[in-house]
């Protein structure tokens, strides 16, 4: 399973960016897709995730500013980021929790390569 994340870049405070992450490979079903981020010198943290039933959760610092959505037909998850702040600067990673095969009930997870978001004037 491979994840390709796109959409990072440099944006001014108050601006917006939309990240995309496409999942490809042997997948029977996806349980949840999520976004994490890691700022310089800090641990990776969960930004939010979306379940197969479209239930979303977010960390408090991004609630009301970030929105996670998914396109099931394309196995793609999106992160719309509005009203960006300098403290949102980080490498953003997408993650998928999935089941690979119909006859194998194991829950697996995979990560994308990360895309850098820099919020600066």
Instruction: Quickly state the pLDDT bin for 73 (edges 50, 70, 90).
Output: confident
Which residues on neighbouring strands pair with residue 32, listed in sequence order? 51, 97
Q: Each residue of 84-108: pLDDT tens digit?
A: 999 999 999 999 999 988 888 898 9
Report percent pLDDT > 90 for the chain.
Answer: 83
**Could you give phi then psi for residue 5, rounded to 5 degrees?**
-100, 140
Using CA atoms, how far apart are residues 108 and 99, in angstroms rounded to an integer? 6
């Amino acid at each position: 399973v491979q994840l390709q994340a796109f959409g990072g870049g440099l944006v001014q405070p108050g601006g917006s960016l939309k990240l995309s992450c496409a999942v490809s490979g042997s997948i029977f079903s996806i349980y949840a897709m999520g976004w994490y981020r890691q700022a310089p010198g800090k641990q990776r943290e969960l930004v939010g995730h979306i379940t197969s039933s479209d239930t979303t959760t977010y960390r408090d610092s991004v609630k009301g500013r970030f929105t996670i959505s998914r396109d099931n037909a394309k196995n793609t998850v999106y992160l719309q980021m509005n009203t960006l702040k300098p403290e949102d600067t980080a490498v953003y990673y997408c993650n998928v929790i999935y089941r690979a095969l119909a006859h194998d009930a194991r829950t697996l997870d995979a990560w994308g390569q990360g895309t850098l978001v820099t919020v600066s004037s």
